[in-house]
Amino acid sequence: MMDDILHWRTLVELGVVCFVCIVGVKWIWSKALGNEAKLPYPPGPTAKSWVAGNLSDMPLEGQWFLFTEWAKVYGDLTYLRVLQNHIVVINNLEVATELLEKRSNNYSSRPNFPMADLMGWDFSSTFKLYGDTWRSHRRMFQQYFRPEVVRNYEGIQIQKNYDMLFQLLNDPENFMSHIRHSSGAIILSALYGLDVAVKNDPYVSIAKKAMDNLTQAMFPGTFLVNTIPFLRFVPEWFPGTSFKRFARETKVYTDQMLNGPIEKVQQLMGMEGVRPCIAADMLENLRSEKELEDIKCVCATSYAGGADTSVSSVSTFFYAMVNFYDVQKKAQDEIDRVIGSERLPDFQDRSSLPYCEALLRETLRWRPILPLGVAHTASKEDIFQGYYIPKGTTLMPNIWGMTRDTSRYDDPEAFNPSRFFDKNGSLNNDNVDYVFGFGRRICPGRHLASATVWLSIVTVLATFDIRKKKDGLGKDIPVDGGYTKAILIHPLPFECSLSPRSKTAEALIRDAVPQLD
């Protein structure tokens, strides 16, 4: 696949020149360079080519690192042009708030992602254009994922979390698998009333495969079909079109994700054997085929996001605890002082554990799940701080850069939960909600995700010590800090040592899930 990407990049200028000749040099030039603008674009790197623009500047992965370096040169906004596509990278939290929230009537739509459509992700509310269908989906999300309703799922979260602790106790080597299983189990139970297998569950595997492929495909420049949409009509046998095969293979998983669980719920409802869940509640009030399609899309969007995003944050927590044992010890001391050792923490304890709350915030900040968020697009032209933003511009919030803002976070690469306390020792107002997005397109499942990650953090800290693993000579095996560089990041596989903090902690875990023992 990568060979084809590089091959396309080598040939792109020749192909685009041919395209220019067909449709007219003058028209393309005026649209690509925006001669209609009376004001300058935001500052940015000089285009390498009058046709391809900054295409060759765009790395195939980890673009947020480059964007963050560019921010030091160009400031809060960085302008790029990839062929005829305008891109503005937003590097500052206040600017992102001004544009994507205060001007959300103009910046709430999404760019066209042909590759997502080809892969079958067009069902996802995340990628829907701003309009009636998206508004319908958003109303459903608000009904089932607003904070007061999310509390209804606490029982599911607690039980599935206890199951994870039990698996960590009995099979600590495969801790990453248990984290993924727990996240998938929570969202599938809440959405569809489904239990998942402890290992190799097909529902969890389908979501993982579909999400993995999506995160590879969403960077500008990774697949040229996102930049040159007419390539989607090139036949699959044509050289350099491995993206079509990749999309076709992915669509098998997205179709299963969209239809499989909801069909199971409908089947169980027909036999009166379905558990109370979001999908069943929605289907009880079904009025039309259009509404059925909306229900399928909203549930599948929640399924995809909930089964993967929490995994990223919980695995980052494990990675951080391996490397910052002083933070782990401080959080454990707080848990021991407030809760003791005779019971497991639950949601009633959240307000009494401020350092653990700060630890959650630092986990979300230190390695944000989506370093570039999900791109917005300008529905109409705009002027901001004297700069011209054309209609159709793609706006990318550089969340990674915002979490590295030294005016907000001293020594941003350090993992330091104490940064979230004010001079009086109270939690400050920075709840890092921006890592979940902005404005009307902020992640509707953020309250459920935050609660899931918080519960994992406090229950694991209450019951386990997390250390670096030892080699045959008794020396610590280093954890090098590697992360994936796709649009949604995860730690690369690493080893750690998990051991119960005490016999009492072990007994608490076993007592919490006696049916599994």
User: Any idea where the domains of the chain sit in the sequence?
Assistant: 2-516
- Predicted confidence band of residue 515 (pLDDT cuts 50, 70, 90): low
Rounded Cα–Cα distance for residues 127 and 301 (Å): 10
Which CA distances in Å does 499 have to 221, 224, 227, 465?
45, 48, 50, 5
**pLDDT at site 397:** 98
Least reliable range by pLDDT among 5-9, 194-198, 350-354, 474-478: 5-9
**pLDDT at site 221:** 61
Rounded Cα–Cα distance for residues 126 and 139 (Å): 14
**pLDDT at site 220:** 59
Give the burial class of 46: count Cβ atoms within 10 A of its Cβ; 0-12 exposed, 13-18 middle, 19 or more buried: exposed
**pLDDT at site 219:** 65
Q: What is the mean pLDDT of residues 339-363?
A: 97
Q: What is the mean pLDDT of residues 311-322?
A: 96
- Predicted confidence band of residue 441 (pLDDT cuts 50, 70, 90): very high
399 and 368 in contact (C-beta within 8 Å)? yes
pLDDT above 80 for 47: yes
Q: What is the pTM of this model?
A: 0.90
241 and 234 in contact (C-beta within 8 Å)? yes
How many of the other CB atoms lie within 10 Å of CB of 202?
11
pLDDT digits (tens, 9 = 90+) for 242-275: 888 889 999 999 999 999 999 999 999 988 888 8
Tokens coding 162: 């206890």
Q: What is the mean pLDDT of the chain?
A: 89
Which CA distances in Å does 203 have to 160, 207, 259?
16, 6, 11
DSSP class of residue 422? Answer: -
Q: Which residue has the higher pLDDT, 197 or 407?
A: 407
Q: Which residue has the higher pLDDT, 199 or 41?
A: 41
- Predicted confidence band of residue 122 (pLDDT cuts 50, 70, 90): very high
pLDDT above 50 for 4: no
- Any alpha helices (H) in 194-288, and if so which ranges? 202-217, 242-270, 278-284
Sequence-distant (6+) residues with CB within 8 A of 243 are: 1, 4, 115, 118, 217, 223, 224, 225, 231
Rounded Cα–Cα distance for residues 253 and 258 (Å): 9
Element (H, E) at 11: helix 2-23
Give the burial class of 159: count Cβ atoms within 10 A of its Cβ; 0-12 exposed, 13-18 middle, 19 or more buried: middle
DSSP code string of 104-163: TTTS-B----HHHHHTTGGG-GGG--SSHHHHHHHHHHHHHHSHHHHGGGHHHHHHHHHH
102 and 384 in contact (C-beta within 8 Å)? no
Residue whose C-alpha is closest to residue 389's, from 97, 29, 47, 40:
40
Helices and strands (DSSP H and E) totals, the chain: 19, 8
pLDDT above 70 for 20: no
Residue 362 has phi, psi (to 5 degrees) of: -70, -35
Residue 430 has phi, psi (to 5 degrees) of: -85, 95
Q: What is the mean pLDDT of residues 356-380?
A: 97
Sequence-distant (6+) residues with CB within 8 A of 265 are: 192, 193, 194, 274, 277, 279, 280, 283
Instruction: Flag whether 21 is marked binding.
Output: no
N- to C-terminal Cα distance for the chain? 46
**pLDDT at site 14:** 37
**pLDDT at site 9:** 46
**pLDDT at site 508:** 96
> 2-516: which CATH topology?
Cytochrome p450 (1.10.630)
pLDDT above 70 for 291: yes
Q: Which residue has the higher pLDDT, 419 or 216?
A: 419
**pLDDT at site 390:** 97
Q: What is the mean pLDDT of residues 94-117?
A: 95
How many of the other CB atoms lie within 10 Å of CB of 22?
8
Rounded Cα–Cα distance for residues 457 and 164 (Å): 12
- Any alpha helices (H) in 285-422, and if so which ranges? 289-306, 309-323, 325-338, 354-366, 399-403
Element (H, E) at 504: helix 503-512
Quick one: residue 437, left, alpha or beta (phi over 0 = left, psi -120 to 50 = alpha)?
Answer: left
Q: What percent of the chain clears pLDDT 70, i.e. is strictly above it?
A: 91
**pLDDT at site 16:** 43
pLDDT digits (tens, 9 = 90+) for 25-38: 434 444 444 444 57
Sequence-distant (6+) residues with CB within 8 A of 318 are: 175, 179, 460, 466, 491, 496
- Predicted confidence band of residue 12 (pLDDT cuts 50, 70, 90): very low
